[in-house]
Amino acid sequence: MHIRSFANEIIDIGNIDLEIQVERTNRKRTISLQVKNNKLIIKTPKSVSKKNLVDLIRRKQHWIRQRAIFNFEEQNLKNREFIDNEKFYFRGDEYHLSLILGRKEAVKIEGGLLVVSYVDDKSIGRGTIKRLLEDWYLEESTKILKARTEELAQQMRVQPCGITVKNYNSKWGSCTANNKISYNWRIIMAPDCIVDYLIIHELSHIIEPNHSKNFWYQVGSYCEDFQKKRKWLRENGHKLVL
């Protein structure tokens, strides 16, 4: 790691350039780091010296670099054009988008392609393709997640009171106090083993409503390597977007 100039707020970590934005305040007692929009944002008490901040950056350089990579990938994915050959994920596999003129609007997987049929050259555009894909992903995820939840619920001897699939922005799933389970449809882009972990996680809340030691014991009883699955979601969840 080479900090070229802290005063000029530029940092070079593993050939990745980040602008440093330092926010000092008397209201904070601890230092927090965030990587966003190609910036390393440091929120710190006013009493912390420049040397201590530099030392912290050196200690956290691996984490900063990983977050910078994730941030770059996330920005690229958000800027999708929805054109031929762009890559999309479904159940852990990668597919290339293929747009064709057809008799009706439809989406299907054919070979290694995610084929989207549209009916009118004049109306085709980013918004139309995105809408068709979102509708297809929601429909497919609803069928798959409901069926798999019912299978795993039988194995775990629990009974959810309802299963829905929604468009969440910041969570993968939830289980209410009434044992109603809901999922983020984007999870269907992940491998099946990750989907199973999420389902087991939510079903385990029927037995243990919190994240206590007993809860994780319950999860581990049906998903022995759940910690690897949690790590996979932390490191790859940003890719599961349209």
The tens place of each residue's pLDDT in the chain, 242 residues long, gives 544 445 445 666 666 778 888 888 887 788 988 888 778 889 889 888 888 988 898 888 888 887 887 777 777 666 788 999 999 999 999 999 999 988 899 999 998 999 999 888 766 788 889 999 999 999 999 999 999 999 999 999 999 999 999 988 778 999 999 999 999 999 999 999 999 999 999 999 999 999 999 999 999 999 999 999 999 998 888 888 88
108 pairs with which residues across the strands?
115
- pLDDT for the residue 91: 97
8 A C-beta contact, residue 163 and residue 144: no
8 A C-beta contact, residue 196 and residue 148: yes
Mapped to the 3 state alphabet, what secondary structure does the chain carry? CEEEECCCCEEEECCEEEEEEEEEECCCCCCEEEEECCEEEEEEECCCCHHHHHHHHHHCHHHHHHHHHHHHHHHHHHCCCCCCCCEEEECCEEEEEEEEECCCCEEEEECCEEEEEECCCCCCCHHHHHHHHHHHHHHHHHHHHHHHHHHHHHHHCCCCCEEEEECCCCCCEEECCCCEEEEEHHHHHCCHHHHHHHHHHHHHHHHCCCCCHHHHHHHHHHCCCHHHHHHHHHHHHHHCCC
- pLDDT for the residue 26: 81
- pLDDT for the residue 7: 46
Domains of the chain: 2-78 (no CATH), 87-239 (3.30.2010.10)
Indicate the pTM of the whole model. Answer: 0.74
